[in-house]
Structure 1
Amino acid sequence: MRFRPLLIAALPALAGPAVWAGPHAEMLGEEAVTLRLDPATGALTLDAVLPAPQGDVTLPRQDWLTVETLEIGGDATPVPSSGVLRAARHMGRPVTMRLTGTLPPLSPEIGEAARAETASYLLGSGWLPVDSAPRARFELNLEVPAGWRPAATGRLGAEAVGAEGRRAQFVFTGRAADMGVFAGRYTVGEARHGDLRLRTYFEPRDAAYSPAYTEAVAGYIDRFSAEIGPYPYAGFSVVSAPIPVGLGMPGLTYVSQSILGHGYMRGRSLAHEVLHSWWGNSVAVDYRRGNWCEGLTTYMADHALAEDAGPEAAREMRLGWLRDLAALPADEDRPLTEFRAASHGARQAVGYGKAALLFHMLKAELGPADWHKGLSRFYAARHDRVAAWHDLRAAFEEASGRDLGWFFDQWLTRSGLPALRLEATEPEGTTLHLVLAQSGPVYRLSVPVVVETEAGTERHLVLLDAVRGEATLRLRAPARAVSVDPDFDLARALAPGEVPPMLGDLFAGPEPVLLALGGETVAVEALGARLLRRPARLVDAAAAETAPALIVVGAGAEVAAWRMAHLDGPAPWSMDVGRARAWVERDPGGRLIGFLSADRAEDLASELGALRYQAGQSYAAFSGGAAVAAGDWPTGATPLSRRFD
């Protein structure tokens, strides 16, 4: 199950790694479940039968759920206090149990199960007895009162409506942790796409969106099937959620009702969730060795749709990934093999953005034909199995006939990014001599070099596999200008001028000191420690002059006066926006200076509490603790470009 929280919600209890021992076919369990649910009250009765349990059986341990009866081979037996029915006790005989309970009400802390006025849900497997088989065939029989509609992961079978309510049967083969059961006052929309059943479960007010969603899903399924291999499920459903998340599950996505009407949800967000049917669900992740699927899905869905919109949109997305990596605090910048989460998190810039750049560079290295061949081989080999980074490498090596150990080693096992330098250029007639350099440790890079000539633009690739390298480019006409990687095709550190100073630089760069303007030193020190996530050091005006990085904090008028006295030129933006403001600038010597101001100094802490969420911006204004304006300063000249005319 892939969890994609919206806003700032998190699902730590649900997103933990689930590891498979090997191919699903090695152990396939069976379980029949009948669930009678009254979503209005949350009352439920669950009957579960494991006809031939494999290994130990783990019983649900939810405080809202009670095991009423337990039978082994038809004979009643006490419920084990440990919550685990050992294999030596059931000896493979059928295990039957009944559970009753009441779903907890919806709360700000998103949990494994909840009921709400219009929809209820159960996620994962914590509400089910499960044996030790890594996969099982679950036959789910759902019963809800009249006026409600049930949905679940798996193939929809029989549906029936009677005086007492509605029944629906779903058959799901997979991990118990990837299951979901839903019930809501839904209007169900349906479309057929070949043999696939596409459904939406939306509240009546959103029912008009259904045709657009099923059409979009059909298009994404066709697109990814052509690129990877056959779609692995019997259909796809989009289910409206009362919680602010987007959850990717086998053949289903559970999406916050509040964003169903937004165009971006039917665009990249929906494409991302549909693609998870291949990456992450059909081919599962060996989280112990790193989560590869979020980067691959981000590249093949989000970036591919940006490419459809044009090269500039794709370039901006790649620049955004590099900016996010530049804003990443040093202690969160880890190798890709250490990104093991199944959800968004602190190192999303690594697990999503850097990993997507890895696949972008790999496609450029192999060429489109071998890239697509490698994807198809990977899917064919690992379909219905668990996969790790080394399985991807093996598939692309087989497809291309090349040893790619150097590529995966340098991008998976190192933290940080290489920094490029254009040390010298020498144009002469229709040739251009370049000297490129990179920071250590040395990477093997195919560096894009774009040359503007008198006859047009030329694109070249220069191999740089040492600290310093030289190349002579043969051109069609004399050079007018040259730029190194102007489209951000490489995973690399951004050069000065390519990106403006960002608020995140305050958290990731040299440890800044704080200068408190006014008498609120204790409050300023506490605010600094909260934002920097480490003890903050206050200095006086004299020490502030020589500090390598500085944050100036105070009331609006005081901060404006300090800036006027210490920096040249007018303020870069109107400092009367919002009730509190934060921005960064560089002084003439290149030193980073952050400014935190509020109309009232005592409001600084409450207004700027969400400042770290604006790490990728140059400035942000806040009112009521929420950002009301944010943006970037214009970029300047970059040392990776030269003009000759």
Structure 2
Amino acid sequence: MKSFKLLTFFLVFFLGGGLALCLSASATQPQIVHHDLEVQLFPAEGRLEAVDRLSLPDAPPSVRLFLSPQASITDIRLNERTLGHTFNNGIINVRLPAEFRGQPVTLEIYYEGRFTDTPPQDPIMTEDPSFGVAAAISPQGTFLAGGSGWYPDPRQGNAAWRLSVTAPPGYLAVSAGRLEEQVTTAEYSRSVWEESIPLSNLTVSAGPYEVKTVQVGDIPVSTYFYPQTQELAPTYLDAAREYLELYEDLFGPYPFAKFAVVENFFPTGYGFPSWTLLGSTVIRLPFIVETSLGHEIAHSWWGTGVRVDHAQGNWSEGLTTYVADYLFLERRSAEGARDYRLRILRDYASLVTPERDFPLTRFLRRTDRPTQAMGYGKAAMVFHMLRHKVGEEIFWAGLREMAETRMFDQVSWDDFAALYSRLSSTDLQAFFDQWVRRPGAPILSLENVEVEHRDEQWYISGHLLQKTRPFDLRLPLIVETDGEPLVRWISLKERENHFELRTADTPRRLLVDPDAHAFRRLHPKEIPPSVNSIRGSENLIAVVAADLPPATADAARLILRALRQEGIRVVDEKQIRPEQLGTHDVLFLGLPRRFANALLADTGLSFDEQGFTFGEERFESPQAALFAAVTPKDFPDRNWAYFIPASPEAARDAARRIPHYGRDSYLVFDQGENRVRGTWEVRESPLIQNFNSSETIQ
């Protein structure tokens, strides 16, 4: 199964081409607050009426509650006694009678609210996975996010929950926990959920759902889809069963009472304890079942199950990426796993400049593509390197033990270091310190490589240099020969590390870690130009081709917003001199004839007045658009890209899609579909030494 790319498609992390993950706060406490919420939804009016019976284990002199300013208080009672209160700027203050102080009490808070956040009708690329929607009630659907203030919140840590939602007939609600009741009649529908596992907040979704359920052992797995999406329910249920069985085998019992896949009326990719919320446009994408779903179910163990101690950074996105996105590819093929590791390294090098780098202890959530490259990508590589260091058996046994002993507890990077140090009988604190607490990554190169043939043996020697403060590394050196390749693992701890190798077969190439098992910063020659190269550029300018029609040029500018480069300088082709381009990365809008050679050379592209040809495929439709990132020969340290749409409509459609193909070098869209995509081949690296010349091999 493939990786979770939902967040790289619509949201950001989201997903964690991820996911926007709602984490619960801390370990189970002896005495916790309990919410008993009874809610009535009026979708046509965008409002709710509710009572929250809020049980406090130890009544203070006064209670401070947080409730959205979009709500109004009807009454607050204690033992049928109305209490005075104030409600200003979202804060309720209630003073409790002296005789109740220090005792368990249940406040009844009656309120109503109108929640009408409007999802965007025409979303471009955004780093906000909510699209600005925190609380919305409508006939199409309801989304009330935990933390949005849709219920009175004392913010006293985790709480237990009972939620009863009454709505029009057929309008069902989903939330965390176990389903206690779900009925629909000619007059109303009612959904009742109960969650005894303490959670820091509660989110609810509701809509005109049809429900399908299968049992996976003792766990009910359900889809809450709109009627027009019902044909997809069996596919999602079958896939969810496979993922649950896989992860129970790897990590132990599923920790929640159910799992539900819920459809949303705007394009979210959210993960909550025991359910996921996917937008209607997302849920129909053919790859989501093989990508998003497995990632989300893995979060049930890592993030919503075993929870994050945010004081040391958020490890859960990296671990979930590793045991979902990466592991699915690894189980398919070694080549797919290698490609994924290389993509992580390329994202890091393209998006995270040394000035923007930071230690993983500072990663809390994805806010943009560079933070995703760190908290999802680099963190996943930390777990990969840990797996190599301690071995298969210890690595997976450690995850099973962590899930068994720390479920619903807060866990830190230090906890992982202590666990694996004990299991491996090795002090791993230095390993975690260098990869988690230290920013940056090693920059490596081969130097002074020599090869000598004597006594029927080939002797290869040289140095591996680290160009920054040294990391403690263990890397494979591979000598490709006329026979079997020679593989040797060497340790690097200094800036300059000498090595010597010997083989009986004629050497052809020396490669250092060609399968990308170690995290490092790639050399620019190792990074094919890509969408991310342009997105991550800090000195980009845009050049509008002279013959691009004005309406198409105006529509093409949308790509600047989609790539979050809307503030850059935009100039016309006639206003720019060739030498000026050598100091910038450049995004060309249209094909500027004066600067076409860089695009056409060695790319398989050709243009004429009717359209363009890529390889052997011809595109002449007014709906066609091309994006191609290249390295110009005259300026090898620069990244250029060409966005060439055939019409305003093609420009608007492609501009929205291009950011979701961040690792690709070239893309062709036609009739609203991606028709061609790929990455240019890398031919040079400072970690590759060729021995093919007669000057090298004597």
TM tier, smaller: 0.7 to 0.9
Cα distance in 2, alignment partners of residues 550 and 121 from structure 1: 42
Q: In 2 relative to 1, CA 6–440 (structure 1 residues): closer, same or farther, beyond 3 Å?
A: closer
Cα distance in 2, alignment partners of residues 505 and 355 from structure 1: 21
1:445 aligns with 2:481: no
- The match for 2:632 among 586, 611, 614 is 586
**Aligned-residue offset at 1:182:** 2.4
Aligned position for 2:593 = 560
Cα distance in 1, alignment partners of residues 590 and 186 from structure 2: 67
Q: In 2 relative to 1, CA 87–279 (structure 1 residues): closer, same or farther, beyond 3 Å?
A: farther
1:124 aligns with 2:136: no
Q: In 2 relative to 1, CA 302–420 (structure 1 residues): closer, same or farther, beyond 3 Å?
A: same
1:494 aligns with 2:522: yes
**Aligned-residue offset at 1:156:** 1.3
Task: Within 5 Å, give how 1:214-363 maps onto structure 2.
Answer: 214-330=237-353, 331-341=355-365, 346-363=370-387
Q: What do the CA deviations read for 1:42-84 (whole angstroms, capped 9, x no partner)?
A: 4422111123255675545324422211113431023323423
Cα distance in 2, alignment partners of residues 433 and 230 from structure 1: 51
- The match for 1:85 among 68, 84, 93 is 93
**Aligned-residue offset at 1:186:** 1.7
SS at match of 2:215: strand
SS at match of 2:85: coil
| Aligned residues of 2:161 and 2:194 also touching (Cα < 8 A) | yes
Cα distance in 2, alignment partners of residues 630 and 209 from structure 1: 27
Taking structure 2 as the reference length, what is the TM-score of the superposition? 0.80
Bigger mean CA offset, 149-158 vs 190-199: 149-158
Which residue identity lines up with residue 409 of structure 1 in the other structure? Answer: D
Bigger mean CA offset, 448-457 vs 150-159: 448-457
Cα distance in 2, alignment partners of residues 239 and 514 from structure 1: 41
Q: In 2 relative to 1, CA 18–152 (structure 1 residues): closer, same or farther, beyond 3 Å?
A: closer
SS at match of 1:94: strand
Aligned position for 1:398 = 422
Q: What do the CA deviations read for 1:144-203 (whole angstroms, capped 9, x no partner)?
A: 332223322101123444453333321113455542222222221111122111111112
| Aligned residues of 1:284 and 1:386 also touching (Cα < 8 A) | yes
Q: What do the CA deviations read for 1:373-418 (whole angstroms, capped 9, x no partner)?
A: 2212322342111222222222222221211122111112333322
1:544 aligns with 2:556: no
**Aligned-residue offset at 1:106:** 4.2
1:485 aligns with 2:510: no
| Aligned residues of 1:419 and 1:439 also touching (Cα < 8 A) | yes
**Count of matched residue pairs:** 637
Aligned position for 1:470 = 498
Aligned CA-pair RMSD: 4.0
| Aligned residues of 1:4 and 1:245 also touching (Cα < 8 A) | no
Bigger mean CA offset, 325-334 vs 620-629: 620-629
| Aligned residues of 1:554 and 1:601 also touching (Cα < 8 A) | no
Aligned position for 2:78 = 72
| Aligned residues of 2:83 and 2:95 also touching (Cα < 8 A) | no
Cα distance in 1, alignment partners of residues 559 and 145 from structure 2: 38
Which residue identity lines up with residue 55 of structure 2 in the other structure? Answer: P
Aligned position for 2:228 = 205
Q: In 2 relative to 1, CA 213–195 (structure 1 residues): closer, same or farther, beyond 3 Å?
A: same
Which residue identity lines up with residue 418 of structure 2 in the other structure? Answer: A
Which residue identity lines up with residue 327 of structure 1 in the other structure? Answer: S
SS at match of 1:107: coil
Structure 2 spans left out of the alignment, 5+ residues: 121-130, 549-553, 613-623, 693-698
Which residue identity lines up with residue 109 of structure 2 in the other structure? Answer: M
Cα distance in 2, alignment partners of residues 272 and 579 from structure 1: 32
Q: In 2 relative to 1, CA 481–156 (structure 1 residues): closer, same or farther, beyond 3 Å?
A: same
| Aligned residues of 1:148 and 1:185 also touching (Cα < 8 A) | yes
Q: What do the CA deviations read for 1:224-263 (whole angstroms, capped 9, x no partner)?
A: 2222232111121111111111111111111122233444
Cα distance in 2, alignment partners of residues 551 and 223 from structure 1: 46
- The match for 2:679 among 604, 607, 632 is 632
Structure 1 spans left out of the alignment, 5+ residues: none
Seq. identity, %: 26
| Aligned residues of 2:24 and 2:158 also touching (Cα < 8 A) | no
Aligned position for 1:50 = 54
Q: What do the CA deviations read for 1:10-31 (whole angstroms, capped 9, x no partner)?
A: 799x9799784x5322542212
| Aligned residues of 1:57 and 1:129 also touching (Cα < 8 A) | no
Cα distance in 2, alignment partners of residues 369 and 278 from structure 1: 19
Bigger mean CA offset, 32-41 vs 266-275: 32-41
Which residue identity lines up with residue 143 of structure 2 in the other structure? Answer: Y
Q: In 2 relative to 1, CA 310–358 (structure 1 residues): closer, same or farther, beyond 3 Å?
A: same
SS at match of 1:101: strand
- The match for 1:139 among 153, 157, 162 is 162
Which residue identity lines up with residue 121 of structure 1 in the other structure? Answer: F
Cα distance in 1, alignment partners of residues 505 and 471 from structure 2: 31
Q: In 2 relative to 1, CA 304–567 (structure 1 residues): closer, same or farther, beyond 3 Å?
A: closer
| Aligned residues of 2:211 and 2:223 also touching (Cα < 8 A) | yes
Which residue identity lines up with residue 70 of structure 1 in the other structure? Answer: I
1:373 aligns with 2:397: yes
SS at match of 1:266: coil
Q: In 2 relative to 1, CA 44–176 (structure 1 residues): closer, same or farther, beyond 3 Å?
A: farther
Which residue identity lines up with residue 573 of structure 1 in the other structure? Answer: L
**Aligned-residue offset at 1:359:** 0.8
Q: In 2 relative to 1, CA 45–486 (structure 1 residues): closer, same or farther, beyond 3 Å?
A: same
- The match for 2:436 among 402, 412, 420 is 412
Cα distance in 1, alignment partners of residues 654 and 228 from structure 2: 36
SS at match of 2:256: coil
| Aligned residues of 1:122 and 1:182 also touching (Cα < 8 A) | yes
Cα distance in 2, alignment partners of residues 268 and 568 from structure 1: 35
Cα distance in 1, alignment partners of residues 673 and 599 from structure 2: 28
Aligned position for 2:451 = 426
Cα distance in 2, alignment partners of residues 514 and 147 from structure 1: 51
| Aligned residues of 2:441 and 2:519 also touching (Cα < 8 A) | yes
Q: In 2 relative to 1, CA 503–210 (structure 1 residues): closer, same or farther, beyond 3 Å?
A: closer
SS at match of 1:271: helix
Q: What do the CA deviations read for 1:85-141 (whole angstroms, capped 9, x no partner)?
A: 367667353211112234426421442222344432222142112234322221112
**Aligned-residue offset at 1:604:** 13
Cα distance in 1, alignment partners of residues 362 and 399 from structure 2: 23
Cα distance in 1, alignment partners of residues 629 and 366 from structure 2: 33
Cα distance in 2, alignment partners of residues 201 and 604 from structure 1: 35
Cα distance in 2, alignment partners of residues 427 and 27 from structure 1: 74
Cα distance in 1, alignment partners of residues 359 and 37 from structure 2: 42
Cα distance in 2, alignment partners of residues 491 and 525 from structure 1: 36
SS at match of 2:214: strand
Cα distance in 1, alignment partners of residues 428 and 643 from structure 2: 51
Q: In 2 relative to 1, CA 568–84 (structure 1 residues): closer, same or farther, beyond 3 Å?
A: closer
**Aligned-residue offset at 1:526:** 13
Q: In 2 relative to 1, CA 118–593 (structure 1 residues): closer, same or farther, beyond 3 Å?
A: closer
Cα distance in 1, alignment partners of residues 490 and 95 from structure 2: 61
